[in-house]
Amino acid sequence: MKIRAIPNLYRNMKRWHKLVAVLSRYGLADWLSSLNVDFVKDQIKDRDGEALSRHSRETRIRLALTDLGPTFIKMGQLLSTRPDLVGRELADELKQLQTNVPADPPDVVRETVTTELGQPIEDLFSEFDDVPLASASIGQVHRARLHEGTDVVVKIRHASIESIIRDDLEVLSGLASLAEQIDEFKPYRPAATVAELSRGLLRELDFGREERNLHQFGELFRDDTRIRIPQPFTEFCTSRILTMERLEGVKLDSEEALEATNFDVKQIVRSGAEIYLEMIFTHGLYHADPHPGNLLLLPDNVLGLLDFGMVGRLDERLREEIESMLMALVERDVMMLTSIIRRVGSMPVHLDDVVLASDMSDFVDHYAAQSLDQFDLGGALGEMMEIVHRHQVTLPAQMALLIKTLVTLEGSTELLHPEFSIMEMMKPFHRKMLLRRMSPARQMQKMRRLYMEVEHLAEVLPGRILDILEQVQSGKFDVHLDHRGLGPSVNRLVLGMLASSLFLGGALMLSHEVTPVLFPTTSVLGLHKISLLGLLACGVSSLLGLRFVQAIRKSEQLDRRE
């Protein structure tokens, strides 16, 4: 541990204590679930009085994150977008995480607004409702009206949430460092995963980022009458406050309100799907949380989008890979699908290519019989992510987020139009993708990029070769080799040499009766003048020899399992 980390550890001691207590409680419940003694299983209960050991392991993880508070709930929600890391079952369970954070009192809210915007609320808004519409993990939302008469919503970050999240992230970072030392967790790259999730969570703390997203999407779809993006009011926005236009409509998760409307549901679903596919495959920028609560049905069959805190961005190369992956899925091309996963994913050292190709073949065969208009995109992507997780392949975060978005989008469209198929909608985009890839403009762009890379290589290559030649000439050229798996073998070799050396030394001391000796004047069972040091050396060498044999046998068993 680094010295500068000690003050942080001391400051977060109380949080560490709660974390250990919660994890111990749920870990004990996990152990009790394996027992067949009913009265023992029922000893640890959740908040509702139900025995924790009766829940599934995934449910216990969700409950543990809920007990640990807003930061861990938010991290769990982010992990729900990464089934390639945590598996499909746990990702589905984590989607149920809900934050019921108490709202800040009105005086705290007013003080925050005044401090951030530099004026009292009465000077900023003609009306401001002190009772929030909702209070989530990071902020709360209030109704308000500008003096010019525009109805708005004001999103205000909780007063103390930033310090809480930063302290919790320090604790999580410490946990990840400990997990890196455990072989069972190493394939999941805990430190890198926590760092990635921490960046995403800290980005959500900055409401200025969401304001920029609203401006960017508003500009992209300024002339599109099918969609409505809330307009932000920059003069009333800071990193802790976001003021935007209030959209009045019917949310997709309001079943009673939906039944009372006369919207053209099929038209809205089709235009919404077209908009999302355009966001993804044309702009490479998309609203990444299309669950029913963030989708509004507005008059004239217009779709309104809410909450731009989570936005996906795809660079051109990754977008091409995703396009190819969806093409391979539609065309049932196993070789292309496997090749793309290997190309974009982070492969573990022990990956078995034959087994991965076999699993992909079975997966494609399972969905080959489905027609495009009945294709279960969510089920197919979910099963593919389960295969990726099983083989411990880590996909780029952007690709995992896109897959989660497509699955969520399909679920939302099914609420309005169960017969609708996103894959059927992809057919024209499939043709557009092919035409765009073959277009002269795209080819010229690729050639220009290739030329720039070759030009850079031509500039640096002679200098690098000259450096190598100079190092060889001066005798400073080093070749570093990484011997994977050699460490245990060397350790066994040293152990064997140590055991044999101790045995030989002990035998010599016994034969020369090196003092101190046992039974110097008498004989016991025919033994006389036994060197105490020689006997001790032989005993230790025997124990080391037994440990050596045990290590070899264990290694052989592991080899047979592999």
| pLDDT (tens digit per residue) in 86-117 | 777 888 888 777 666 678 899 999 999 999 99
Query: In the beta sheet, which residues pair with residue 154?
Result: 142, 243
- What stretch of H or E contains 256? helix 255-259
> What are the Cα distances from residue 340, in Å, to 354, 362, 402?
15, 17, 15
* Rounded alpha-carbon distances, angstroms, from residue 68 to 53, 65, 99, 459: 19, 5, 11, 54
Query: Would you tell me how many other CB atoms lie within 10 Å of the CB of residue 511?
Result: 10
Residues in CB range of 433: below 8 A, 6 or more apart: 281, 323, 327
- The whole-number average pLDDT for the span 448-457 is 85
Reduce the DSSP state of residue 74 to 3 states and report it. helix
- pLDDT, tens digit (0-9, with 9 covering 90-100), for 254-278: 767 676 777 888 888 888 888 988 8
Q: How confident is the model over 332-389, as pLDDT tens digits?
A: 778 888 888 888 888 887 788 888 888 888 888 777 666 766 777 777 888 888 888 8
Task: Kindly report the number of other CB atoms within 10 A of residue 80's CB atom.
Answer: 19
Of the candidates 255, 154, 252, 138, the one whose C-alpha atom is nearest the C-alpha of residue 202 is 138
Number of Cβ within 10 Å of residue 366's Cβ equals 12
What's the CA gap between 208 and 238, in Å, rounded?
Answer: 6
Report the Cα–Cα distance between both ends of the chain, in Å, rounded. Answer: 35
The residue type found at 531 is: S
pLDDT tens per residue across span 134-144 = 888 888 999 99
- For residue 215, pLDDT over 90 is answered with yes
Name the burial class of residue 488, with classes exposed (0-12), middle (13-18) and buried (19+) by CB atoms within 10 angstroms of its CB.
Answer: exposed
Write down the residue that tokens 């779709």 correspond to. 303
Catalytic annotation, residues: 289
- Please classify residue 553 by burial: count the beta carbons closer than 10 Å to its beta carbon, then call 0-12 exposed, 13-18 middle and 19+ buried: exposed
Say whether pTM exceeds 0.85. no
CB-based burial of residue 49 (10 Å sphere; 0-12 exposed, 13-18 middle, 19+ buried)?
exposed
What is the residue-wise DSSP string for 463-505? HHHHHHHHHHHHT--------TTHHHHHHHHHHHHHHHHHHHH
Query: Which pair of structure tokens corresponds to residue 153?
Result: 């919503």
Per-range mean pLDDT, top range of 7-16, 75-84, 95-104, 308-317: 308-317
87-101, 230-244, 289-303: which is most confident: 230-244
SS3 (DSSP) at 140? strand
Q: What pLDDT was estimated at residue 1?
A: 44
pLDDT surpasses 80 at 11: no
Within its chain, how far is the Cα of 6 from the centroid?
28
What average pLDDT does the chain have? 79
Distance CA 424, CA 416 (A): 17
Tokens at residue 400, please?
């995992």
What CA–CA distance (Å, rounded) separates 383 from 378?
A: 8
Q: Over 5-29, what HEC string results? A: HHHHHHHCHHHHHHHHHHHHHHHHH
DSSP H or E stretch at residue 157: strand 151-157
Considering only CA atoms, which of 420, 417, 415, 95 is closest in space to residue 255? Answer: 415
- Cα(108)–Cα(157) distance, rounded to whole angstroms? 11
Residue whose token pair is 């999103």:
155
Residue 18 in this model has a pLDDT that exceeds 80: no
Q: 347 — phi, psi (to 5°)? A: -90, 135
Which candidate, 161, 169, 138, places its Cα nearest to that of 12? 169
